[in-house]
Structure 1
Amino acid sequence: MRSVSEGAAQGRRLSFLERFSYGSGDLGYSLAYNVAGAFLLFYYTDVVRLPAEAVGTIFLVARLLDAVIDPLVGIAVDKTRTRWGRTRPYFLFTAVPYALIFIAVFHVPDAAQGVQLAYAFITFKLLGILMSVGSIPYTALMPMMTLDTKERLKLGGARSVGTSVSVILGTAATMPLVAWLGAGDTQRGFTYTTLAFAAISMIAVFLLFRNCRERFEDDASPSFRVLPAVGQMVRNRAWLVCFGFCLLYFVRFGAMLGLTIFFAKDVIGKPWLIPVMLPMVSGGLLIAAFIAPPILSRTGLRAGCVGSIAISLALFAGMAMIDGAPDWQIAGIGVPPLLLPYFLFSVATSVTITAIFTMAAESVDYHQSKHGVRYEGLLSSGISVSTKVGMAIGSAAAAYVLAFAAYDPANVTDASRADIRMAYYAVPAALLVLQAVVILFWPMDRNRLQSPAARTAWNDPGEGEMQ
């Protein structure tokens, strides 16, 4: 079913350069998407002045189309056989066009509103397509690099570092760079800022291509029947749990990313909190990237995720209780008390993203134990769909909240503020509860046997339920 190199079969440890380069891949592909997720709603509504309802529809329709595109990319990956391997060619050939489209997304022309809406949809959709063509092979690469769960957790941690750096860089630096480079011209500021980020993205993706290798080669024929393969995928319990858990995570992430700007400047009344709160999400990811692997190795994916979600809910409730409290005075600087539970909440919820990366790889092994084939590309495309559909629903929900609240950037009413605040707390809390329910169905034991031979011996889905 697959050939395994001798070093890999013995559980060869991955080098620091491999782990670093693997993490850089997430930086390369996530930087543009995270900047878009955090600021595109603001850019469209406050800079270009497009209606919020239309923007929400653009986000929703464009990303829902990924439900069709992503499986096609996954199938293409499973059929790909080149001298560079099955996944690496996609990194090489997407790096430049992905960067160029990212710049175009934040450069809407001065034209009639209908033209601007069409341009916004086309460029945003192209960004999503190129993201799929790069990120699906990227996710498929992890189970090809190692079979060892501990090594995969390290790769998942490296990927979380890449994610967190991309969000910290994108959210903390974007608006200061826009103000500095634009010198009063917000559009020019966004253009120059995206040029700088596009260069970083290209370099990071080229590092991924240069230093990461596929060590596990599936001997199955690249030709296979698609519908039976999809049928096997939806009968893979591990994959279904990973899909649902990931979907809910990114619905919450997308909604909070879009609404945090308006929560900070309109509900709390402190616009300076925007470049503080958004990077805190990434700061949480960065810390979780280091603490999640040992925690999840000890507790198992199921117990670790449920515990982190329970802590997250308690911290989020605490934040809601004190978001109107007077500032703490620290060294003569007023610090809103809500920042402490918000940051700790970001750390706790970020533990689950490392779990998602690992579950995606583990579900490939589970698939092989049940069906005798791996289909890394197809299975990874399904997880990519959950990511993008989740972000689509979350981003659209943020836009629809603004529309429901009758948000007018020139005149924000108290009623609008109350609606935004209610949505900011209620929606994420409900989604976290649903995530906890979904992860309870994860089928694998925390004490997984690590040898390749042992992995292929798993045939009873009821065996080894996680404690």
Structure 2
Amino acid sequence: MAMNEETLKRHTDSSASNQKLSLLEKVSYGLGDTASNLLFTVVTTYLTFYFTDVYGIKAAAVGTLLLIARIVDMLDSPIFGILIDKTNTKWGKSRPWILWSCIPFSIVVILLFMGPDLSDSGKLAYAYIFYIAANVLYTAVNNPLTTMLPSLTLDIQERTVANSFRMFGGQFGALLVNLTLLPLVAYFGGGDQQKGFFYTMTLFGVIGLIMFFITFLNTKERVQDINGTKSLALKDSIKAIKGNQPWIAGVLLGVVFFILYVMKLSSGIYYITYNLGKPGLVSLVNTLGTLTLVGIIAVPFLSKKFSKKKLIIIGMLINIIGQLIIYFGGQSTAILLTGVIVGAIGFGLPIGLLFALIADTVDYGEWKSGVRAQGLLASTASGIAIKLGSGLGGAIPAWLLAAGGYVANKPQTQSSLHMISLNFIWLPIILSILSILILAFLYKWEKPYNEIIAELEVRRAQ
């Protein structure tokens, strides 16, 4: 049915006015990612180092482990998405999964860092079992935050702000890790890093659980109430993917983004320790890396004037500038820290917008196909992005280290130092450029977003 401009405006305004989120709900939503990152930042940032330098697994084996585990784990994202679409409870579709999954997730991550004394093959098997389990349970507890976003509100600005609270919460969790992890490991371990990691992760696990419960109790799935809560058949969910080019572009962008993100996180400790010979700077550099918070805070204000697409491109360009500053700074600590700060602030824009961009494709899929499948679309997109991207982001640096002849806790050869530099500086630049190209040439809509939302509201009213 054709709709005139007045009808579109009336339905858009009605949607916005009825779906404002309270500050408590936004903060509670953000705490879900704080809890996730309090535990999983240790995995993405320190696990490679932990496996190679603390638990004693060879770098090449670690690289293969990280990729295989992530590929296996990637299969669980569409499964959880389908399960979320089929879930029908008084709490909604996404929220109950946070409640059901947070306790086993916390326990498994703690056990991942327990480090039992086993043979070399036994250590590798232990690492495979608990790393895969941690990834699966991370999907179960974190993907609902993504699938919940399009259900919190149809107001695009409110959704962007809520996602900014989430990303701020996630980066705050990362900040807590980078500020406290190594000091706590030293405190609890008393010289025994293995013991220190285990007790620190136990503490993080308890704190994370409290935050997960707050998220569950103080959020609400409003759009679910508009559309109805009945289960959605798989064949209907798949219809929302057909012809959804923005969703495909979002998946590709997410994969490249997480390769870049995890590669920078995991390789920084090697670059600072071996290329610069300044291991004491690791905690400071990782802490400054959480200045992505500045970019994230700016997102709600900038998004009023600029599209998500433009802001992400700007953020990637700023990140490239930061990488080049680090390279040209050589051994200078001051220039290194300057480059880290510049890159982190720029990186905050895509961090603050990626999942909101993916959430928008749920609306596009419903407009295109008549099916609202937030579980399958949001969960699969974020799952493929996080799992495949993070897997490659952890595996590629480890493989390059092995190819360069890296030997843990020893002076490194020029070949090894070159590979570390490639991991930390040059590949992130290349991946930033690739992200820009994906957005410029693949992320396209047939009509403005507000018109699509207005049409959806009219369909529901009818």
How far apart, in 1, do the equivalents of 2:71 and 2:325 lie? 34
User: Which residue matches 2:5?
Assistant: none
How far apart, in 2, do the equivalents of 1:453 and 1:9 lie? 10
User: Residue 289 and residue 345 in structure 1: after superposition, are their counterparts in 2 closer, same or farther (change >3 A)?
Assistant: same
1:419 deviates by: 2.4
User: Which residue matches 1:354?
Assistant: 352
How far apart, in 2, do the equivalents of 1:165 and 1:323 lie? 29
Are 1:76 and 2:83 an aligned pair? yes
User: Residue 128 and residue 404 in structure 1: after superposition, are their counterparts in 2 closer, same or farther (change >3 A)?
Assistant: same
Are 1:292 and 2:282 an aligned pair? no
How far apart, in 2, do the equivalents of 1:231 and 1:296 lie? 30
Please show how residues 399-410 of structure 1 align to structure 2 within 5 Å.
399-410=398-409
User: Residue 446 and residue 260 in structure 1: after superposition, are their counterparts in 2 closer, same or farther (change >3 A)?
Assistant: farther
User: Which residue matches 1:128?
Assistant: 135
User: Which residue matches 1:264?
Assistant: 272
Contact 1:157 1:354 in 2 (8 A): yes
User: Which residue matches 1:52?
Assistant: 59
Are 1:443 and 2:444 an aligned pair? yes
User: Which residue matches 2:6?
Assistant: none
Contact 1:405 1:419 in 2 (8 A): yes
The one-letter code sitting in structure 2 at the alignment partner of 1:357 is F
Deviations 1:105-133 (A, max 9, x none): 00121011111111110001110111111
User: Residue 244 and residue 107 in structure 1: after superposition, are their counterparts in 2 closer, same or farther (change >3 A)?
Assistant: same
Gaps of 5+ in 1: 326-334, 459-467
Deviations 1:150-205 (A, max 9, x none): 10111111011111111111122111110111111111101110011101110111
The one-letter code sitting in structure 2 at the alignment partner of 1:264 is I
1:344 deviates by: 1.1
- Out of 224, 230, 233, the position equivalent to 1:224 is 233
User: Which residue matches 1:110?
Assistant: 117
Please show how residues 203-218 of structure 1 align to structure 2 within 5 Å.
203-217=210-224, 218=227
Please show how residues 315-330 of structure 1 align to structure 2 within 5 Å.
315-325=322-332
How far apart, in 1, do the equivalents of 2:244 and 2:448 lie? 20
User: Which residue matches 2:8?
Assistant: none
How far apart, in 2, do the equivalents of 1:9 and 1:322 lie? 48
Contact 1:300 1:445 in 2 (8 A): no
User: Which residue matches 2:246?
Assistant: 238
User: Residue 244 and residue 456 in structure 1: after superposition, are their counterparts in 2 closer, same or farther (change >3 A)?
Assistant: farther
- Paired residues, what number? 443
User: Residue 243 and residue 36 in structure 1: after superposition, are their counterparts in 2 closer, same or farther (change >3 A)?
Assistant: same
Look up the SS of the partner of 1:350 in the other structure: helix
User: Which residue matches 1:461?
Assistant: none
Look up the SS of the partner of 2:255 in the other structure: helix
User: Which residue matches 1:434?
Assistant: 434
How far apart, in 2, do the equivalents of 1:234 and 1:124 lie? 33
User: Residue 234 and residue 454 in structure 1: after superposition, are their counterparts in 2 closer, same or farther (change >3 A)?
Assistant: closer
How far apart, in 1, do the equivalents of 2:240 and 2:304 lie? 28
Please show how residues 406-425 of structure 1 align to structure 2 within 5 Å.
406-415=405-414, 416-425=416-425
Contact 2:240 2:370 in 1 (8 A): no
User: Which residue matches 2:393?
Assistant: 394
RMSD, aligned CA: 2.1
How far apart, in 1, do the equivalents of 2:216 and 2:14 lie? 21
How far apart, in 1, do the equivalents of 2:161 and 2:193 lie? 40
Higher alpha-carbon deviation: 309-318 or 30-39: 309-318
User: Which residue matches 1:453?
Assistant: 454
User: Residue 216 and residue 43 in structure 1: after superposition, are their counterparts in 2 closer, same or farther (change >3 A)?
Assistant: same
Overall identity of the aligned pairs, in %: 28
Gaps of 5+ in 2: 1-10
Contact 1:368 1:456 in 2 (8 A): no
Please show how residues 26-41 of structure 1 align to structure 2 within 5 Å.
26-41=33-48
Contact 1:323 1:336 in 2 (8 A): no
How far apart, in 1, do the equivalents of 2:425 and 2:456 lie? 42
The one-letter code sitting in structure 1 at the alignment partner of 2:373 is Y
How far apart, in 1, do the equivalents of 2:245 and 2:210 lie? 37
Are 1:143 and 2:150 an aligned pair? yes
Contact 1:78 1:377 in 2 (8 A): yes
User: Residue 62 and residue 10 in structure 1: after superposition, are their counterparts in 2 closer, same or farther (change >3 A)?
Assistant: same
Are 1:152 and 2:159 an aligned pair? yes
Contact 2:263 2:423 in 1 (8 A): no
Look up the SS of the partner of 1:338 in the other structure: helix
How far apart, in 2, do the equivalents of 1:413 and 1:428 lie? 22
How far apart, in 2, do the equivalents of 1:155 and 1:450 lie? 21
Deviations 1:209-236 (A, max 9, x none): 000011112337514144x633641531
How far apart, in 2, do the equivalents of 1:163 and 1:103 lie? 19
1:409 deviates by: 2.0
Contact 1:171 1:279 in 2 (8 A): yes
1:436 deviates by: 0.1
How far apart, in 2, do the equivalents of 1:173 and 1:132 lie? 25
User: Which residue matches 1:21?
Assistant: 28
User: Which residue matches 1:306?
Assistant: 313
User: Residue 451 and residue 379 in structure 1: after superposition, are their counterparts in 2 closer, same or farther (change >3 A)?
Assistant: closer
1:246 deviates by: 1.1
How far apart, in 2, do the equivalents of 1:220 and 1:176 lie? 47
1:9 deviates by: 6.1
Look up the SS of the partner of 1:264 in the other structure: helix
1:241 deviates by: 1.4
TM-score normalised to structure 2 length: 0.91
User: Which residue matches 1:332?
Assistant: none
1:84 deviates by: 1.7
The one-letter code sitting in structure 1 at the alignment partner of 2:252 is G
The one-letter code sitting in structure 2 at the alignment partner of 1:379 is L
Look up the SS of the partner of 1:309 in the other structure: helix
How far apart, in 1, do the equivalents of 2:451 and 2:188 lie? 51
Contact 1:241 1:438 in 2 (8 A): yes
User: Which residue matches 1:328?
Assistant: none
1:444 deviates by: 4.0
User: Which residue matches 2:4?
Assistant: none
User: Residue 451 and residue 421 in structure 1: after superposition, are their counterparts in 2 closer, same or farther (change >3 A)?
Assistant: closer
Are 1:10 and 2:14 an aligned pair? no
- Out of 180, 183, 189, the position equivalent to 1:182 is 189
How far apart, in 2, do the equivalents of 1:102 and 1:311 lie? 34
1:50 deviates by: 0.6
